[in-house]
Protein backbone atom coordinates (compact mmCIF):
# COMPACT_ATOMS: atom_id res chain seq x y z
CA UNK A 1 0.00 0.00 0.00
CA UNK A 2 1.28 3.45 -0.92
CA UNK A 3 0.31 6.12 1.62
CA UNK A 4 0.83 9.85 1.09
CA UNK A 5 0.36 12.24 4.01
CA UNK A 6 0.20 16.00 3.53
CA UNK A 7 1.38 18.01 6.56
CA UNK A 8 3.92 17.08 9.26
CA UNK A 9 1.94 18.60 12.11
CA UNK A 10 0.80 16.39 14.97
CA UNK A 11 -2.15 14.98 13.00
CA UNK A 12 0.02 13.86 10.07
CA UNK A 13 2.78 12.55 12.33
CA UNK A 14 0.40 10.57 14.54
CA UNK A 15 -1.30 9.07 11.47
CA UNK A 16 2.07 8.06 9.99
CA UNK A 17 3.08 6.34 13.24
CA UNK A 18 -0.22 4.52 13.49
CA UNK A 19 -0.01 3.31 9.90
CA UNK A 20 3.54 2.08 10.47
CA UNK A 21 2.42 0.19 13.56
CA UNK A 22 -0.23 -1.67 11.57
CA UNK A 23 1.25 -1.96 8.09
CA UNK A 24 4.89 -2.89 8.24
CA UNK A 25 5.68 -3.14 4.51
CA UNK A 26 3.53 -0.12 3.49
CA UNK A 27 5.20 2.83 1.77
CA UNK A 28 4.70 6.14 3.59
CA UNK A 29 5.54 9.53 2.07
CA UNK A 30 5.09 12.66 4.14
CA UNK A 31 4.97 15.97 2.27
CA UNK A 32 5.11 19.22 4.22
CA UNK A 33 5.78 22.88 3.88
CA UNK A 34 7.69 23.20 7.14
CA UNK A 35 11.18 21.71 7.29
CA UNK A 36 11.62 21.71 11.06
CA UNK A 37 11.26 18.22 12.57
CA UNK A 38 7.83 17.52 14.11
CA UNK A 39 7.30 20.00 16.94
CA UNK A 40 4.81 21.23 19.48
CA UNK A 41 3.02 24.11 17.78
CA UNK A 42 1.39 25.51 20.95
CA UNK A 43 4.85 25.89 22.47
CA UNK A 44 5.80 28.64 20.02
CA UNK A 45 4.20 30.98 22.53
CA UNK A 46 6.54 29.67 25.23
CA UNK A 47 9.36 30.32 22.76
CA UNK A 48 8.18 33.91 22.29
CA UNK A 49 7.96 34.32 26.04
CA UNK A 50 11.55 33.16 26.39
CA UNK A 51 10.50 30.37 28.75
CA UNK A 52 12.00 27.67 26.52
CA UNK A 53 14.51 27.60 23.67
CA UNK A 54 14.12 26.00 20.27
CA UNK A 55 15.64 22.70 21.36
CA UNK A 56 12.59 22.04 23.56
CA UNK A 57 10.01 22.17 20.79
CA UNK A 58 10.45 18.86 18.92
CA UNK A 59 7.97 16.17 19.97
CA UNK A 60 9.70 13.34 18.13
CA UNK A 61 13.32 12.26 17.99
CA UNK A 62 15.58 13.50 15.22
CA UNK A 63 15.54 10.08 13.55
CA UNK A 64 11.72 9.96 13.47
CA UNK A 65 11.49 9.59 9.69
CA UNK A 66 14.18 6.91 9.41
CA UNK A 67 12.96 4.99 12.40
CA UNK A 68 9.45 4.78 10.97
CA UNK A 69 10.69 4.33 7.39
CA UNK A 70 8.88 7.45 6.21
CA UNK A 71 10.06 9.30 3.10
CA UNK A 72 9.93 13.00 3.99
CA UNK A 73 9.50 15.57 1.25
CA UNK A 74 9.86 18.85 3.11
CA UNK A 75 9.90 22.50 2.14
CA UNK A 76 7.25 22.20 -0.54
CA UNK A 77 3.47 22.53 -0.59
CA UNK A 78 0.80 20.47 -2.27
CA UNK A 79 -0.72 22.77 -4.89
CA UNK A 80 -3.22 20.49 -6.59
CA UNK A 81 -4.93 17.17 -6.16
CA UNK A 82 -6.32 15.00 -8.95
CA UNK A 83 -8.71 12.53 -7.36
CA UNK A 84 -9.29 10.59 -10.61
CA UNK A 85 -5.67 9.77 -11.35
CA UNK A 86 -4.89 9.72 -7.58
CA UNK A 87 -2.01 12.16 -7.78
CA UNK A 88 -0.83 15.15 -5.78
CA UNK A 89 1.23 17.88 -7.40
CA UNK A 90 3.64 19.90 -5.28
CA UNK A 91 4.90 23.44 -5.79
CA UNK A 92 8.28 22.18 -7.06
CA UNK A 93 6.45 20.59 -10.02
CA UNK A 94 6.71 16.97 -8.85
CA UNK A 95 3.73 14.63 -8.82
CA UNK A 96 3.15 11.93 -6.23
CA UNK A 97 0.68 9.10 -6.69
CA UNK A 98 -1.07 7.44 -3.78
CA UNK A 99 -3.38 4.56 -2.87
CA UNK A 100 -4.47 6.29 0.34
CA UNK A 101 -4.11 10.01 0.96
CA UNK A 102 -4.32 11.96 4.22
CA UNK A 103 -4.84 15.71 4.16
CA UNK A 104 -3.43 17.00 7.46
CA UNK A 105 -2.42 20.47 6.35
CA UNK A 106 -3.69 22.28 9.43
CA UNK A 107 -4.80 25.88 9.30
CA UNK A 108 -3.51 29.26 8.16
CA UNK A 109 -3.85 32.52 10.09
CA UNK A 110 -6.75 34.65 8.93
CA UNK A 111 -5.41 37.86 7.34
CA UNK A 112 -7.04 41.22 8.00
CA UNK A 113 -8.18 43.81 5.52
CA UNK A 114 -5.66 46.59 6.15
CA UNK A 115 -2.91 48.38 4.24
CA UNK A 116 0.74 47.88 5.09
CA UNK A 117 0.58 44.20 6.09
CA UNK A 118 4.01 43.69 4.49
CA UNK A 119 5.85 46.12 6.83
CA UNK A 120 8.57 44.73 9.11
CA UNK A 121 7.12 44.28 12.57
CA UNK A 122 3.70 43.02 11.43
CA UNK A 123 3.40 39.33 12.27
CA UNK A 124 1.14 36.33 12.30
CA UNK A 125 1.84 33.66 14.90
CA UNK A 126 1.50 30.16 13.53
CA UNK A 127 4.91 28.56 13.21
CA UNK A 128 8.48 28.61 14.49
CA UNK A 129 9.64 30.85 11.67
CA UNK A 130 7.06 33.53 12.60
CA UNK A 131 8.22 33.54 16.20
CA UNK A 132 11.91 33.54 15.34
CA UNK A 133 11.33 36.66 13.26
CA UNK A 134 9.46 38.26 16.17
CA UNK A 135 12.28 37.46 18.57
CA UNK A 136 14.79 39.03 16.18
CA UNK A 137 12.98 42.37 16.35
CA UNK A 138 12.18 42.34 20.07
CA UNK A 139 15.31 44.25 21.14
CA UNK A 140 13.95 47.59 19.93
CA UNK A 141 10.26 46.98 20.55
CA UNK A 142 8.74 49.41 23.06
CA UNK A 143 5.07 49.07 22.38
CA UNK A 144 3.32 46.10 20.82
CA UNK A 145 -0.19 45.87 19.45
CA UNK A 146 -2.07 42.57 19.51
CA UNK A 147 -5.12 42.20 17.31
CA UNK A 148 -7.73 39.77 18.55
CA UNK A 149 -8.64 38.48 22.00
CA UNK A 150 -8.84 34.84 20.96
CA UNK A 151 -6.50 32.11 22.09
CA UNK A 152 -3.54 33.07 19.90
CA UNK A 153 -3.85 36.83 20.49
CA UNK A 154 -4.10 36.10 24.14
CA UNK A 155 -1.00 33.92 24.23
CA UNK A 156 0.95 36.47 22.18
CA UNK A 157 -0.02 39.26 24.60
CA UNK A 158 0.91 37.18 27.62
CA UNK A 159 4.30 36.21 26.16
CA UNK A 160 5.17 39.83 25.32
CA UNK A 161 4.10 41.06 28.76
CA UNK A 162 6.40 38.46 30.27
CA UNK A 163 9.18 40.09 28.22
CA UNK A 164 8.31 43.43 29.86
CA UNK A 165 6.97 44.90 26.63
CA UNK A 166 3.95 47.21 26.88
CA UNK A 167 1.05 45.57 25.07
CA UNK A 168 -2.25 46.97 23.85
CA UNK A 169 -4.86 44.47 22.75
CA UNK A 170 -7.65 45.43 20.38
CA UNK A 171 -10.70 43.21 20.48
CA UNK A 172 -13.85 43.36 18.40
CA UNK A 173 -16.17 41.90 21.03
CA UNK A 174 -16.72 43.06 24.59
CA UNK A 175 -14.21 40.87 26.39
CA UNK A 176 -11.27 38.54 25.66
CA UNK A 177 -11.83 34.85 24.79
CA UNK A 178 -15.45 35.62 23.93
CA UNK A 179 -15.62 32.55 21.68
CA UNK A 180 -14.62 30.29 24.57
CA UNK A 181 -16.02 31.71 27.81
CA UNK A 182 -18.85 33.73 29.35
CA UNK A 183 -18.53 37.38 30.21
CA UNK A 184 -17.77 36.85 33.91
CA UNK A 185 -14.81 34.57 33.20
CA UNK A 186 -13.64 36.80 30.32
CA UNK A 187 -13.59 39.81 32.59
CA UNK A 188 -11.74 38.03 35.36
CA UNK A 189 -9.06 37.10 32.85
CA UNK A 190 -8.95 40.62 31.43
CA UNK A 191 -8.43 42.04 34.93
CA UNK A 192 -5.55 39.65 35.57
CA UNK A 193 -3.86 40.81 32.39
CA UNK A 194 -4.53 44.49 33.08
CA UNK A 195 -3.08 44.14 36.55
CA UNK A 196 0.06 42.91 34.82
CA UNK A 197 0.32 45.78 32.37
CA UNK A 198 -1.99 44.99 29.46
CA UNK A 199 -4.17 47.71 27.94
CA UNK A 200 -7.40 46.44 26.38
CA UNK A 201 -9.49 48.41 23.90
CA UNK A 202 -12.76 47.06 22.61
CA UNK A 203 -14.75 47.84 19.47
CA UNK A 204 -11.85 49.27 17.41
CA UNK A 205 -9.83 47.69 14.61
CA UNK A 206 -6.81 48.59 12.48
CA UNK A 207 -7.43 50.08 9.04
CA UNK A 208 -3.80 50.62 8.00
CA UNK A 209 -0.22 50.17 9.13
CA UNK A 210 2.32 52.90 8.45
CA UNK A 211 6.11 53.12 8.54
CA UNK A 212 9.10 53.37 6.17
CA UNK A 213 10.19 49.80 6.18
CA UNK A 214 9.45 49.09 9.80
CA UNK A 215 6.03 49.53 11.41
CA UNK A 216 5.72 52.81 13.34
CA UNK A 217 2.03 53.67 13.48
CA UNK A 218 -1.32 51.91 13.21
CA UNK A 219 -4.40 53.78 12.00
CA UNK A 220 -7.50 52.76 13.88
CA UNK A 221 -11.15 52.60 12.82
CA UNK A 222 -12.12 55.44 15.17
CA UNK A 223 -9.83 57.78 13.23
CA UNK A 224 -7.05 57.87 15.83
CA UNK A 225 -3.41 56.85 15.39
CA UNK A 226 -1.52 54.46 17.60
CA UNK A 227 2.29 54.43 17.78
CA UNK A 228 3.70 50.91 17.96
CA UNK A 229 6.73 49.06 16.67
CA UNK A 230 5.27 45.59 16.56
CA UNK A 231 1.89 44.05 15.78
CA UNK A 232 0.73 40.45 16.15
CA UNK A 233 -2.40 39.55 14.22
CA UNK A 234 -4.41 36.89 16.01
CA UNK A 235 -7.77 37.04 14.28
CA UNK A 236 -8.28 33.30 14.09
CA UNK A 237 -7.36 30.67 11.54
CA UNK A 238 -8.99 28.96 8.59
CA UNK A 239 -8.48 25.36 7.45
CA UNK A 240 -5.73 25.10 4.81
CA UNK A 241 -7.48 23.17 2.03
CA UNK A 242 -7.19 25.64 -0.86
CA UNK A 243 -5.62 22.99 -3.12
CA UNK A 244 -8.42 20.46 -2.63
CA UNK A 245 -10.91 20.15 -5.54
CA UNK A 246 -14.25 21.16 -4.03
CA UNK A 247 -16.08 19.56 -6.94
CA UNK A 248 -15.32 16.09 -5.70
CA UNK A 249 -14.41 16.58 -2.03
CA UNK A 250 -17.12 18.04 0.21
CA UNK A 251 -15.90 21.04 2.14
CA UNK A 252 -17.58 23.41 4.52
CA UNK A 253 -15.31 25.50 6.76
CA UNK A 254 -13.10 22.41 6.91
CA UNK A 255 -12.93 19.24 4.83
CA UNK A 256 -15.99 17.17 5.74
CA UNK A 257 -15.14 13.72 7.10
CA UNK A 258 -17.21 10.73 8.20
CA UNK A 259 -16.72 8.71 11.40
CA UNK A 260 -13.71 6.99 9.84
CA UNK A 261 -12.12 10.36 8.99
CA UNK A 262 -12.72 9.62 5.32
CA UNK A 263 -13.73 12.44 2.97
CA UNK A 264 -16.45 12.14 0.34
CA UNK A 265 -13.85 10.54 -1.95
CA UNK A 266 -13.00 6.98 -0.88
CA UNK A 267 -9.32 6.54 -0.07
CA UNK A 268 -8.85 10.22 0.83
CA UNK A 269 -8.88 11.09 4.52
CA UNK A 270 -8.50 14.31 6.50
CA UNK A 271 -7.48 14.97 10.12
CA UNK A 272 -6.53 17.80 12.46
CA UNK A 273 -7.21 21.52 12.11
CA UNK A 274 -8.18 21.05 8.45
CA UNK A 275 -10.96 18.52 9.11
CA UNK A 276 -14.59 19.05 10.05
CA UNK A 277 -16.48 16.37 11.97
CA UNK A 278 -19.29 16.52 14.54
CA UNK A 279 -18.92 18.59 17.69
CA UNK A 280 -20.08 16.50 20.65
CA UNK A 281 -21.50 19.37 22.72
CA UNK A 282 -23.16 21.14 19.82
CA UNK A 283 -24.20 18.00 17.92
CA UNK A 284 -23.46 19.64 14.59
CA UNK A 285 -20.56 19.77 12.12
CA UNK A 286 -17.72 21.87 13.55
CA UNK A 287 -13.99 22.43 13.22
CA UNK A 288 -12.28 22.13 16.61
CA UNK A 289 -8.74 23.20 15.89
CA UNK A 290 -6.98 21.95 19.02
CA UNK A 291 -4.00 19.73 19.69
CA UNK A 292 -5.64 16.74 21.46
CA UNK A 293 -8.25 16.40 18.71
CA UNK A 294 -5.54 16.58 16.04
CA UNK A 295 -3.80 13.67 17.82
CA UNK A 296 -7.02 11.65 18.18
CA UNK A 297 -8.08 12.28 14.58
CA UNK A 298 -4.64 11.44 13.23
CA UNK A 299 -4.76 8.16 15.11
CA UNK A 300 -8.23 7.22 13.89
CA UNK A 301 -7.33 8.20 10.31
CA UNK A 302 -4.20 6.05 10.54
CA UNK A 303 -6.18 3.00 11.69
CA UNK A 304 -8.72 3.31 8.91
CA UNK A 305 -6.14 4.01 6.22
CA UNK A 306 -4.29 0.85 7.23
CA UNK A 307 -7.52 -1.11 6.90
CA UNK A 308 -8.66 -1.32 10.53
CA UNK A 309 -12.07 0.32 10.83
CA UNK A 310 -12.20 2.50 13.94
CA UNK A 311 -14.80 5.17 14.58
CA UNK A 312 -14.10 8.69 15.84
CA UNK A 313 -16.61 9.82 18.41
CA UNK A 314 -16.63 13.52 17.56
CA UNK A 315 -14.62 16.46 18.80
CA UNK A 316 -15.01 18.84 21.70
CA UNK A 317 -13.72 22.40 21.91
CA UNK A 318 -11.67 22.84 25.05
CA UNK A 319 -8.78 24.83 26.36
CA UNK A 320 -6.73 25.47 29.42
CA UNK A 321 -4.69 28.60 29.96
CA UNK A 322 -2.40 29.54 32.80
CA UNK A 323 -1.56 33.23 33.04
CA UNK A 324 0.43 34.71 35.89
CA UNK A 325 -1.21 33.12 38.93
CA UNK A 326 -4.58 32.38 37.38
CA UNK A 327 -5.79 29.21 35.66
CA UNK A 328 -8.69 29.03 33.23
CA UNK A 329 -10.24 25.87 31.83
CA UNK A 330 -13.18 25.72 29.48
CA UNK A 331 -14.92 23.12 27.34
CA UNK A 332 -17.96 22.90 25.09
CA UNK A 333 -20.72 25.49 25.05
CA UNK A 334 -20.24 28.35 27.48
CA UNK A 335 -19.99 31.49 25.37
CA UNK A 336 -23.34 33.30 24.97
CA UNK A 337 -23.04 32.71 21.22
CA UNK A 338 -23.20 28.96 21.85
CA UNK A 339 -26.00 28.83 24.39
CA UNK A 340 -29.74 29.45 24.24
CA UNK A 341 -32.91 29.50 26.40
CA UNK A 342 -33.03 25.71 26.44
CA UNK A 343 -29.76 25.59 28.40
CA UNK A 344 -29.67 25.43 32.18
CA UNK A 345 -26.88 27.32 33.93
CA UNK A 346 -25.35 26.77 37.33
CA UNK A 347 -22.54 28.86 38.70
CA UNK A 348 -20.66 29.47 41.91
CA UNK A 349 -17.80 31.70 42.88
CA UNK A 350 -15.62 31.92 45.92
CA UNK A 351 -13.70 35.19 46.07
CA UNK A 352 -11.58 33.94 48.98
CA UNK A 353 -10.19 31.09 46.89
CA UNK A 354 -10.34 33.12 43.69
CA UNK A 355 -12.55 30.55 42.01
CA UNK A 356 -15.42 30.77 39.59
CA UNK A 357 -17.24 27.83 38.05
CA UNK A 358 -20.09 27.70 35.59
CA UNK A 359 -21.81 24.60 34.21
CA UNK A 360 -24.12 24.49 31.21
CA UNK A 361 -26.64 21.67 30.89
CA UNK A 362 -29.04 20.73 28.16
CA UNK A 363 -31.63 18.59 29.93
CA UNK A 364 -29.59 16.13 32.01
CA UNK A 365 -26.51 16.34 29.80
CA UNK A 366 -23.55 18.54 30.61
CA UNK A 367 -22.64 20.47 27.44
CA UNK A 368 -20.13 23.02 28.69
CA UNK A 369 -18.22 24.47 31.60
CA UNK A 370 -15.73 27.13 32.51
CA UNK A 371 -13.66 27.12 35.65
CA UNK A 372 -11.23 29.65 37.04
CA UNK A 373 -8.63 28.20 39.44
CA UNK A 374 -8.89 24.81 41.18
CA UNK A 375 -9.05 23.13 37.78
CA UNK A 376 -7.85 19.66 38.83
CA UNK A 377 -11.26 18.04 38.41
CA UNK A 378 -11.85 19.60 34.97
CA UNK A 379 -11.06 16.33 33.20
CA UNK A 380 -13.94 14.60 34.98
CA UNK A 381 -16.34 17.25 33.68
CA UNK A 382 -14.80 17.06 30.20
CA UNK A 383 -15.37 13.34 30.06
CA UNK A 384 -18.96 13.79 31.24
CA UNK A 385 -19.51 16.06 28.23
CA UNK A 386 -17.73 13.64 25.90
CA UNK A 387 -19.65 10.64 27.18
CA UNK A 388 -22.99 12.52 27.05
CA UNK A 389 -23.74 10.72 30.28
CA UNK A 390 -26.98 11.99 31.87
CA UNK A 391 -26.11 13.51 35.24
CA UNK A 392 -28.58 12.34 37.86
CA UNK A 393 -27.03 13.89 40.95
CA UNK A 394 -27.82 17.43 42.11
CA UNK A 395 -25.82 19.93 40.08
CA UNK A 396 -24.39 21.64 43.17
CA UNK A 397 -22.30 18.50 43.67
CA UNK A 398 -20.42 19.35 40.50
CA UNK A 399 -19.89 22.95 41.58
CA UNK A 400 -18.74 21.98 45.05
CA UNK A 401 -14.98 22.37 45.69
CA UNK A 402 -14.95 18.79 47.05
CA UNK A 403 -16.33 17.36 43.81
CA UNK A 404 -14.55 14.23 42.64
CA UNK A 405 -15.21 11.32 40.33
CA UNK A 406 -16.57 9.08 43.08
CA UNK A 407 -19.70 11.19 43.35
CA UNK A 408 -20.58 9.99 39.88
CA UNK A 409 -19.34 6.46 40.42
CA UNK A 410 -21.29 6.01 43.64
CA UNK A 411 -24.39 6.60 41.65
CA UNK A 412 -23.45 4.30 38.84
CA UNK A 413 -22.40 1.33 40.90
CA UNK A 414 -24.93 1.54 43.71
Partner 1 sequence: MKQVIVHPERCVGCMQCMLACAASHSKTGTLISAISESPRPRPRIHVGAGLYEEGFPNRCRHCDPAPCQMACLPGAIYRQTITNTVLINPDICINCASCAMACPYGVIRYHADPLAPAAKTIAVKCDNCIARQHRGQIPACVEVCKTGALTFEEMDAAMKKKTDQVARSICAEAVPADNAPGFSLLNTVKRAEKEINLLR
Which residues of the shown chain bind ligand FAD in the complex (CB under 6 A)? 6-12, 31-34, 41-42, 44-45, 77-78, 104-107, 125-126, 152, 155, 240, 243, 272-273, 289-292, 294, 319
In this complex, which beta carbon is closest to partner 1, that of residue 364 or of residue 406? 406
In this complex, which beta carbon is closest to partner 1, that of residue 192 or of residue 408? 408
67 binds partner 1 (CB under 8 A): no
Compose the 326-345 pattern: x for residues touching partner 1 by CB under 8 A, - for all others: -x-x-x--------------
Shortest Å distance, C-beta 36 to partner 1: 15
225, 217 Cβ separation under 8 angstroms: yes
Interatomic CA distance for residues 234 and 150, integer angstroms: 7
Torsions phi, psi of 11, nearest 5? -65, -50
Torsions phi, psi of 284, nearest 5? -150, 165
Which partner in ligand FAD, partner 1, none is near 150 (CB below 5 to 8 A by kind)? none
282 HSE (CA, 13 A, CB side): 20
304, 310 Cβ separation under 8 angstroms: yes
In this complex, which beta carbon is closest to ligand FAD, that of residue 72 or of residue 186? 72
**DSSP code string of 369-402:** EEEES--TTHHHHHHHHHHTPBP-S-THHHHSTT
353 binds partner 1 (CB under 8 A): no
121 binds partner 1 (CB under 8 A): no
DSSP 111: P
In this complex, which beta carbon is closest to partner 1, that of residue 46 or of residue 86? 46
128 binds partner 1 (CB under 8 A): no
In this complex, which beta carbon is closest to partner 1, that of residue 205 or of residue 269? 269
Largest CA distance in the chain: 72
Shortest Å distance, C-beta 169 to ligand FAD: 15
Contacts for 360 with CB less than 8 Å, ≥ 6 apart: 332, 333, 334, 339, 343, 344, 345, 366, 367, 368, 369
Q: Which of residues 207-246 bind partner 1 (CB under 8 A)?
A: none
Nearest one of 52, 96, 17 to 271, comparing CA atoms: 17
DSSP 338: G
3-state secondary structure of 162: helix
Torsions phi, psi of 189, nearest 5? -65, -40
In this complex, which beta carbon is closest to ligand FAD, that of residue 155 or of residue 235? 155
Shortest Å distance, C-beta 288 to partner 1: 13
Interatomic CA distance for residues 229 and 169, integer angstroms: 14
Q: Residue 39 CB: number of other CB atoms within 10 A?
A: 22
Contacts for 115 with CB less than 8 Å, ≥ 6 apart: 207, 208, 209
Which partner in ligand FAD, partner 1, none is near 383 (CB below 5 to 8 A by kind)? partner 1
376 binds partner 1 (CB under 8 A): yes
105, 78 Cβ separation under 8 angstroms: yes
Shortest Å distance, C-beta 321 to partner 1: 9
Which partner in partner 1, ligand FAD, none is near 239 (CB below 5 to 8 A by kind)? none
Q: Which of residues 245-304 bind partner 1 (CB under 8 A)?
A: 291-292, 295-296, 299, 303
In this complex, which beta carbon is closest to partner 1, that of residue 68 or of residue 89? 68
Options 107-115, 232-240, 316-324, 340-348: segment touching partner 1 (CB under 8 A) = 316-324
Q: Give 231's strand partners.
A: 122, 145
62 binds partner 1 (CB under 8 A): no
Q: Which of residues 20-39 bind partner 1 (CB under 8 A)?
A: 21-22
Amino acid sequence: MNYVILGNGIAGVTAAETIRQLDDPGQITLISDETFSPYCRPMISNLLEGAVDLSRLPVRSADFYEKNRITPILGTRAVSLDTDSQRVTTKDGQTHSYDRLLVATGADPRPIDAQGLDLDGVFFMRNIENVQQMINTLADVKHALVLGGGLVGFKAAYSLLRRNIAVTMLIGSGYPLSMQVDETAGQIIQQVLEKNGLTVRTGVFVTAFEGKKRLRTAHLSDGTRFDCDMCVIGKGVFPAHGFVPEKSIDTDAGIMVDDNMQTSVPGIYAAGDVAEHIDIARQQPWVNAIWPEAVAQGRVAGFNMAGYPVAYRGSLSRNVIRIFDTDLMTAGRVSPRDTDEACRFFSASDPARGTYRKLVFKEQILVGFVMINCIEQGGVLTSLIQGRTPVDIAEHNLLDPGFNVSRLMGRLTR
